[in-house]
Amino acid sequence: MNIFVLRLKPQQDLKRSLAEFVAANQIQAGFILSAIGSLQKATIRFANQPTSDVFDEKFEIVALNGTLSMHGSHLHLAIADKTGRMIGGHLTEGCIIYTTAEIVIGESPNLTFVRTPDAQTGFLELEIRER
């Protein structure tokens, strides 16, 4: 397994920064091992909803999970507000770092993750290919 570590700084967009990192490092079959940090603004798409909701307040990043690939990524985010109330859903652009985000990414050197149309779901779904 290859391991990558990155730290995002204030004002960076979480999703966009991850996509740029994946492209710059030519990550083909990546996955989030660990992620903590904080947001000053969160944009999340909840289950089975066509659009994202925007939250203009500070949050702790409690979890970030999913697959990463230069061929398409799929990430979910869980965050907690100042009272500890948690919300989570599909990570979309517009999650802006407050103080930091410390992210550890693993990558399988033997696989490639791609997103292909799935007739049953109607979405681009994960296809795992041997390299």
pLDDT digit string (tens) for 74-87?
Answer: 999 999 999 999 99
Across the chain, mean pLDDT equals 97
Distance, in Å, from the CA atom of 121 to the CA atom of 13, rounded to the nearest integer, reads 29
| Number of compact structural domains in the chain | 1
Question: Which value, to the nearest 10 degrees, does the dihedral of the CA atoms of residues 72, 96, 33, 85 take?
Answer: -120
Q: What is the pLDDT of residue 89?
A: 98
The structure's pTM equals 0.95
**CA-to-CA dists, residue 74 to 11, 69, 99, angstroms:** 22, 9, 24
Look-up: residue for tokens 């100042």?
A: 82
Q: What is the pLDDT of residue 125?
A: 96
Entry field: residues in the chain: 131
Share of the chain above pLDDT 70, in %: 100
CATH number for the domain that contains residue 101: 3.30.1330.80
Distance CA 100, CA 10 (A): 6
Distances (CA, A) of 15 to 37, 91, 121: 14, 7, 24
- Domain boundaries, position 6: 2-130
Contact 37, 8 (CB under 8 A): yes
- Distance between CA atoms of 23 and 20, rounded to whole angstroms? 5
The one-letter code for the residue type at 125 is E
Confidence of residue 127 (pLDDT cuts 50, 70, 90): very high
